[in-house]
């Protein structure tokens, strides 16, 4: 029984270690301590729900990014991302926003929500901040 417990512990530890490593290479960019200026939500042409954020980064630039339910790398986390984003918008809480560049190619979505007229960036993860100190920093 002790051997089984040790094997399970080693297995869990290595899973956490490898998960952390793969997550670190999962996104293209992180915008730290960002303030949400606007939030939009709706349904894209294929019927999936989406939300988009227009936000100001800690260096003062304004950017946009979106999440789509059922589509993209973080699609299974859509509900959690939406909850965190909507609460942060309502409460004026700063977030670190983890992005994957140019993922959504819907022309109407890109026209409305792309930062620089390209495809729309995908929100991969959100981390809350207290003042300018964000989770995991």
pLDDT in tens, 25-82: 567 778 887 899 999 998 887 888 989 999 998 889 988 888 989 888 888 899 999 9
Q: What is the CATH number of the domain that holds 48?
A: 2.40.50.110
Q: Which two tokens stand for residue 130?
A: 């207290």
What is the pTM for the complete model shown?
A: 0.73
Token digits for 131? 């003042």
Question: Does residue 99 fall inside a structural domain?
Answer: yes
Q: Answer whether residue 105 is part of any domain.
A: yes
Q: How many domains does the chain have?
A: 1
Angle (CA) 78-84-88 rounded to 5° is: 140
Could you tell me the residue range of the domain that residue 77 belongs to?
28-134
Q: Is residue 10 part of a domain?
A: no
Print the SS3 string covering 38-105.
EEEEEECCCCCEEEEEEEECCCCCEEEEEEECCECCCHHHHHHHHHHHHHHHHHCCCEEEEEEEEEEC
For 21-38, what is each residue's pLDDT tens digit? 334 456 777 888 789 999
75, part of any domain: yes
Instruction: Determine, yes or no, domain membership for 4.
Output: no
20 located within any domain: no
CA 120/CA 116 separation, integer angstroms: 9
Q: What is the pLDDT of residue 134?
A: 75
Q: Per-residue pLDDT for 9 more than 70? A: no
């Amino acid at each position: 029984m002790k051997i089984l417990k040790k094997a399970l512990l080693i297995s869990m530890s290595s899973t956490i270690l490898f998960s952390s490593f793969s997550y670190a290479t999962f996104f293209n960019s992180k915008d730290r301590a960002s303030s949400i200026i606007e939030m939009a939500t709706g349904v894209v042409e294929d019927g999936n729900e989406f939300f988009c954020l227009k936000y100001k980064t800690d260096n003062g630039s304004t950017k946009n990014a979106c999440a789509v339910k059922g589509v993209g790398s973080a699609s299974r986390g859509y509900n959690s991302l939406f909850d965190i984003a909507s609460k942060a918008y309502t409460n004026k809480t700063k977030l670190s926003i983890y992005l994957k560049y140019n993922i959504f190619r819907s022309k109407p979505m890109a026209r409305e929500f792309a930062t620089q007229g390209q495809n729309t960036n995908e929100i991969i993860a959100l981390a809350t901040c207290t003042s300018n100190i964000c989770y995991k920093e």
